[in-house]
Amino acid sequence: MRSTDADARIAGHVFRDPALLAQALTHRSAGAPHNERLEFLGDALVGLVVAEALYLRWPKADEGAMTRARAELVRESSLARIARDLDLGARITLGPGEMKSGGHRRDSILSDALEAVVGAIYLDAGFEACRSAVMPWFEAQLAALPAGGIGKDPKTRLQEWLQGRQRPLPAYELVSESGEEHARTFHVRCLLSDPALEAEGSGSSRRAAEQDAAAAILTQLEPLKP
Which of 73, 72, 82 lies closest to 154 in space, CA to CA? Answer: 72
Q: Which residues pair with 203 in a beta bridge?
A: 186
Active site residue 85: no
CB 24, CB 117: distance < 8 Å? yes
Active site residue 36: no
Active-site entry in 5, 17, 36, 43: 43
Active-site entry in 98, 107, 115, 210: 115
Q: Is 39 annotated as a binding residue?
A: yes
Q: Is 36 annotated as a binding residue?
A: no
Q: How many helices, marked H, and strands, marked E, lie in the chain?
A: 9, 5
Cα–Cα distance, 150 to 35 (Å, whole number): 32
Compute φ and ψ for 126, nearest 5 degrees. Answer: 95, 180
Q: How many CB atoms lie within 10 A of CB 151?
A: 12
Q: Is 112 annotated as a binding residue?
A: yes
Cα–Cα distance, 39 to 30 (Å, whole number): 16
Binding-site residue set? 39, 112, 115
Binding-site residue set for Mg(2+)? 39, 112, 115
- The catalytic residue positions are 43, 115
